[in-house]
Chains A and B, each alone.
Chain A
Amino acid sequence: MFERSRCWLGAVALALCAQVAAADAPRVVALGGDITETVYALDAQQSLVGVDSTSLWPAAARELPNVGYVRQLAAEGVLALRPNLILATHDAGPPPVMAQLREAGVRIELMPATRTPEGVVAKVREIGRALGREAAADAIAHRIETQYAELSKAVAGMKSHPRVLFLMATEGSPKAGGRETAAASAIVLAGGTQIADGFTGYKPVSAEALVALAPDVILLMRERADEVGGVSGVLQLPGVALTPAGKARRIVFVDGQALLGFGPRNAEHELELQRVFAGVQP
């Protein structure tokens, strides 16, 4: 018995040596669409060995091994990618799996949830630090800060703030983005008035409630534009045609990942949205 286990020991030691040679290169698993975006923005994608299922942009990220939904990770699956750094959104989970990954000795950097310009900039810098790409992070942070400064100046100059509703067309009643959603933050940041404030999260709204909310602009995700049948499809949804937005055909499709992910592309998309809002005549 002892002889045999010694033999195995040798085999394992050999296997280990082979691994150590490759262990110097950074091997990063990015968990969260905004984090993956940032890694690409920092031009550090060559160190990525895996992403989660919310990492949809850029398209190249979808070619990487996918560890599944960010809140339903599998410890062995992630470890099989032999990462030496996990960059994760703060609510990656489930907690027992995060504990297992930590116990396995993998360095885990948790990024706070951010829906503010300061938060986005801080996140870029923090990921830059974790990847050892501070210079690239600085450059991007400066660019984003300039864009946000431009945005806040433009918003301050708005005469009125149009009433904006974010909709997700689903089976049955469409769902509206209420308080504490990324959509609400994005709307306010771009100078709109977030009108669905009677509830939190994304909740179904009836046709009547939609009319009563009287939005000047209706936002939807561009990713799902085809599913809802474009602008004309949205106008067909019960109630939409009776709203100011419907009458003026102010149905706007936004890039959900870029805008609502609050990653490095948020600022430019907020600027774009602000220009739409500024064009609304009360």
Chain B
Amino acid sequence: MNSIALPRRHALSARAWALGGLAALLAVAAIGGMAVGAMPLSATQVLGALLRWLDGLPMQGQDAVVLTLRLPRVLMASLVGAALACSGATMQGLFRNPLVEPGLVGVSAGAALGAIGMIVLGGAVTAVLSPLLGSFAIAGAAFGGGLLATFLVYRFGSRRPGVATLLLAGVAINAIAMAGVGVLTYLANEHQLRDLTFWTLGSLGGTSWARLGAVAPLLLLPLLWLPTQARALNALLLGEREASLLGFEPRKLRRRLVTVVALATGAAVAMCGVIGFVGLLVPHLLRLVWGPDHRLLLPGSALAGAGLMIGADAVARVAVAPAELPVGVITALLGGPFFLWLLSRLRTGEAG
């Protein structure tokens, strides 16, 4: 059943080491993310706040900063980063193309259209709600837009066998959604223009326990389920015919994977805006280092994506404090050069 030719025992221990290393990196990133911020807090204060929280003691001093601002934000960053990277790894496997990112099936562009539509045209909807609920309305519209776009891509793209049609349908739906964004940009007033610019650059600002709670199930469930599909994705690497000979049903698999990826990516984009490069970079990076085995790639991408996002968000929070940078800028700024450096170290023919 396995597409991997490595001896089983050897593969297993190498995988354990790799995932253990990535988990350690994630832990370091999380500690770093909790330790830094615009508010100068000592390690003692941060640890004290966390311990008091775990002991159920009342908050004191600057505990609120640690417990209601930093902690949910670090958790949100890790979930969103993990979801984006794991979705990216899944899509790259599904399309057997290392340049694919989760946005390819239209979910990011659809979500952007939904969110921006709500920002620009939803005045009547958001006016009757409190501003806080209004921000949830924007997230809801984004989530709906992302799912709808993905559904359309899938409907048009699955008429013929193979992934090529799906890919092209994704390109077309993306173009239509971005045209819609263009029209809305024209209609927007100055304030809305600034809002939607920031939305398209992504931000974890304003993350609270409520927002985290609203989105966590939609990110956690795909994160738990996707790695269980590693063997099927490995089989798919051999080709669709080969995969079905091995007992997998490529059609059914594709539908399930696209749905789950759309759920996870849609939820991430809805809450935090479009955060580029994580879904493309992280899985690609791991593949360059450890090869294409999805049993390592999927959980590994989740761990590395979470760590990268926590790190990027920490930079976004402190770089221009007391203001904040859009996190999407950081992921691209950190990720791009690193990726190039890695590519330059490879001999020709090794990439992909």
Contact surface of A with B, Cβ cutoff 8 Å: 1, 4-5, 8-9, 11-13, 15-16, 50, 53, 65-69, 71-81, 91, 93-100, 103-104, 180, 200-203
Contact = CB atoms under 8 A, between A and B. Distances in A.
Contacts of A11: 42, 44-45, 48
Contact of B203 (A12, A65, A72): A72
Contacts of B64: 103-104
Interface in B177-214: 186, 188-191, 194-195, 198, 203, 205-208, 211
B190 A74 contact: no
Interface in B6-43: 37-40, 42
Nearest to B64: A104
A72 B132 CA distance: 14
Interface centre among A11, A75, A180 (most CB of B within 10 A): A75
Interface in B300-332: 317, 320-324
B206 A15 contact: no
A171 B189 CA distance: 18
Contact of A76 (B70, B188, B191): B70
9 contacts: A8-B48, A9-B60, A71-B194, A77-B38, A77-B323, A80-B39, A80-B322, A96-B206, A103-B68
B186 A74 contact: no
A118 to B, nearest CB: 23
Given A5-B51, A72-B205, A95-B134, A80 B189 contact: no
Contact of B55 (A5, A15, A66, A67): A5
Contacts of A4: 51
A74 B317 contact: yes
Contact of A74 (B52, B62, B322): B322
Interface centre among A1, A67, A94, A100 (most CB of B within 10 A): A94
B194 A74 contact: no
A69 B194 contact: yes
Nearest to A201: B189
A69 B205 CA distance: 13
Nearest to B73: A76
B246 interface: no
B69 A75 contact: yes
Contacts of A96: 132, 135, 205-208, 211
Interface centre among B65, B132, B322 (most CB of A within 10 A): B322
B327 to A, nearest CB: 11
B337 interface: no
B317 A72 contact: no
Contacts of A93: 131
Given A5-B55, A8-B51, A16-B61, A74 B205 contact: yes
B70 A8 contact: no
Closest 10 interchain pairs by CB?
A: A68-B323, A96-B206, A77-B322, A95-B131, A74-B324, A8-B48, A80-B38, A201-B189, A77-B38, A80-B39
B238 interface: no
Contact of A77 (B131, B191, B321): B321
A203 B186 contact: yes
A96 B293 CA distance: 41
A26 B194 CA distance: 31
Contacts of A76: 37-39, 65, 69-70, 317
Contacts of A81: 322
Contact of B190 (A72, A99, A104, A201): A201
A4 B43 CA distance: 13
Contacts of A9: 48, 60
B47 A180 contact: no
A203 B206 CA distance: 31
A95 B126 CA distance: 12
B324 A68 contact: yes
Given A76-B70, A95-B134, A180 B189 contact: yes
A12 B132 contact: no
Contact of B135 (A16, A94, A200): A94
A172 B195 CA distance: 22
Given A100-B69, A201-B190, A78 B322 contact: yes
Contact of B65 (A13, A79, A95, A98): A79
Contacts of A103: 64, 68
B68 A100 contact: yes
Contact of B132 (A65, A69, A95, A202): A95
A65 B322 contact: yes
B61 A75 contact: no
Given A16-B60, A96-B132, A96-B135, A67 B211 contact: no
